[in-house]
Structure 1
Amino acid sequence: MGVAIRRAGEADRADVVRLLDEAFMQDPVSSWVFPGEEHRLRMHSGLMEAFFDLALDEGYVDVTEDGAAAALWWSVPAGVPEEGGEDGPALLREAVDPDNERVELVGRLTDAVHPTDRPHQYLHMIAVQPERQGEGLGTALVAAVLERCDREGLHAYLEASNARSRDLYARLGFGFMGTTLDLPDGPRMWPMWREPRGVTGGAGG
């Protein structure tokens, strides 16, 4: 496809956060988390910045060389987090929008459906500049990681936030896990899992 991709770092923070903010401002999940448009315009970028930091801490951020698209991945180990550990959703709410319980709730609900039995690469978010959509940039970002997953026998997971992206991910080898995540009075999400291709057996890591 000829799309140049590089690993992002701290120096890319402002550009990637701006891209995420623009791409997800009208996303169904973002609109549910921040139902008031004026409030969303003020607080949404703070949530995107927190997600960028989490990706750098727990995984990595890939960007196209021209900065038109970015993908946030987490490297998730197997096993349920230990009791008494940090409460991620509560910390996120406190840092981003303390009076908004939906910031915490969406984290708790996605955590509840997130597989814990096998280590995997978690595609948390992917964003493409609106004027560049349809050029295959997002597919190139995902495919680059999936090629590594296939080579190394790694599984992958995501939650699709709309039917269009669900169908796209299905073409990349992700399968719907069978139960949707329906946010209270909000949109539907589709948890999807991908087995590494060309690898026999179900064990990962």
Structure 2
Amino acid sequence: MRNQLDWARSVAETELAEALPRRWAHSLGVAQRAVRLMAVLREDECVLLASAAVLHDVGYAPRLATTGFHPLDGARFLRDAHRADDRLVRLVANHSSALLEAEERGLRGALEAEFPLLEDQRLVDALVWCDMTTTPDGEPTTAEARVAEILARYGAGSVVGRFIRRASPEIFAAVRRVDAALAAQPM
């Protein structure tokens, strides 16, 4: 299992570190947030989550950006070039309410057909929590501040702005569920 995480980090670093250093910093921060969830996940789930966390934005890599929709581009790359684990690929494809953004881009059918959402809501929520509580520079933040930052960066009328406004209730609910699971753990 540990080999999967080492492999994931290597792939993400190769694709992002030089071409998109800020995106790489964010990916590292998201993976670091995954470590915080060890108390509420099994070891195999932690490895899967940390692998998905470090790879979730790999589709932004310029050489991989074929549709311009990074969850789909990244998942296709992981599936086709690396024959990656199906659950890992599906987490990357569907991270942080990607179906809603896919809909805004006219790609929902393709995303759903190729990469159905995982049935394990805890893992889906966990990746949302990791991504949406990490700044673009890889630092911890609140989901509310992250959504506000995304809106400010892309603009309310952009595809991403429309998506994030639609997705924010779902994002905030996922973050609350993970926060509640963490709070229920003994100190």
> Which TM-score band (shorter chain)?
0.3 to 0.5
Instruction: Point out the structure with the larger strand share.
Output: 1
TM-score by length of 2: 0.39
TM-score by length of 1: 0.37
Instruction: Point out the structure with the larger helix share.
Output: 2
